[in-house]
Amino acid sequence: MLIYLRVLKESFNFAINALRNNKLRTFLSLLGVTIGIFSIIGVLAAVDSLEKEIKGSISSLDNSTIYLTRISFGPTQVPDWKREQFPDVTFEEYQHVKRTMPDLKAASFLLNVGQETLKYNDKSISNVDMVPVTNDYYDIEELQVVQGRFYNEQESVGGAPVIVIGDEIANSLFGSSDPIGKKIRVYGRKFTVIGVLKKEGSGLFGGSKDTAAILPVNIVRRLYGDNNKFTFPMIIIKPESGSDVPEFVASLTQKVRSYRGLKPDEIDDFFVNQLQGFTDFIDNITGTMSQIGGFIGMFSLLVGGFGIANIMFVSVKERTNLIGIQKALGAKRKFILLQFLFEAVILAVFGGLIGLVLVWLISKGASSMTGDFEFILSTSNMFWGMFWSTLIGLIAGIFPAWMAARLDPVEAIRTGM
């Protein structure tokens, strides 16, 4: 056992000395592996970070949440010209769903309207995301009100001129003063502030409820009308916890079809979008991105492997005389083999480590520059990066090492002279 350990140690020392004596060649070999590892780990880290950020942006909603609308959230086989003919969901359909659906925890009617400017005395804040919804939206999205309250069902149905604002809006318009009870102007009329939402920070695409204002949908319906194609109304539905979601979706689909009077041979002129389906779609996209990025990165790493193999062949050629002398003095084939294998693997491992350090530094810098977006360098990605780097080095060094180990000592000495 001690003999094998001594052989390994001496082989390792020979490999290190060889790398030290050829610094430029070593650097060029490291560069190829470094670029390959940087490509693989960088792409995987970017995809993981993007996936985490997207899922974090929708984490406040349960996967069972359903969106009933004329727009599909994912790929669909319904042609564009057909979808353009689909009618919008209506407030009456929302009331029908809320009244007749079993196992329903909450349902909310929402209009997607443009941004507006909110004014209070001589202060104003522009590009405010207006969110006209019914009061059940509070339970569906699990909103947190840190000051005041959310509007109730009576205020929602009656379209009361009340409004709940985000943290950034409250700070911009009111500063340190209490915003509750203050009146702000939007849509050409005054709304009373009854609540302020908890600060949540910006999301993936820069938006969050910090810059949003939530108000009863019925007051906005009176402003825009029910036949406005630019409001993209939708019904947000949340089943009871533990209910059979596929059965719930089937029941919902049938009730909407019946309400619209669709015949059995007619297709649905609406879409039942599930958040679970949306997250599955995201998983498929990010999975494909990981595969493509990993494939491209493996090509880069493979090029680095060819570089190592080429350098090892040159190294064997240069040290043919030394190999002959070592073998003439009694060095075994495995000593020569390990010597060159160690050299190849050390190149690959050090190149991989440098690549990981570069990815780590860039990810830290990018995270600090983007603020709320955090780049993730997972342990599993680091492990697989180093695994593939070591494997490529091992494969790249096998044939040159095997050639060196099989050299005839007399011919090797003569060739080197």
Say which DSSP state 358 is in. Answer: H
List the pLDDT tens digit at each of the 417 positions of the chain.
555 455 555 555 655 665 666 666 667 666 777 777 777 777 777 777 776 766 665 555 556 788 999 888 777 888 888 888 888 899 999 999 999 998 898 999 999 888 899 999 889 999 899 999 999 999 888 888 999 999 999 999 999 999 999 999 999 999 889 999 999 999 989 999 999 999 877 654 445 788 899 999 999 998 887 777 778 899 999 998 878 888 998 999 999 999 999 888 889 889 988 866 566 666 677 677 777 766 776 777 777 777 777 777 777 776 666 667 766 766 677 767 777 777 777 777 777 788 888 888 877 777 676 655 667 777 777 787 788 778 887 887 787 777 777 766 666 666 655
| Residue 182: per-residue pLDDT | 93
Sequence letter at residue 196? V
Distance CA(290)–CA(297), nearest Å, equals 10
Sequence letter at residue 188? G
Specify which residues 148 forms β-bridges with: 195
| Residue 82: per-residue pLDDT | 85
Distance CA(58)–CA(60), nearest Å, equals 5
Sequence letter at residue 86? F
Q: What token pair was written down for 266?
A: 């007619």
41 with 214: CB under 8 angstroms? no
Q: Which residues make Cβ contacts (< 8 Å) with residue 85, sequence separation at least 6?
A: 269
| Residue 403: per-residue pLDDT | 76
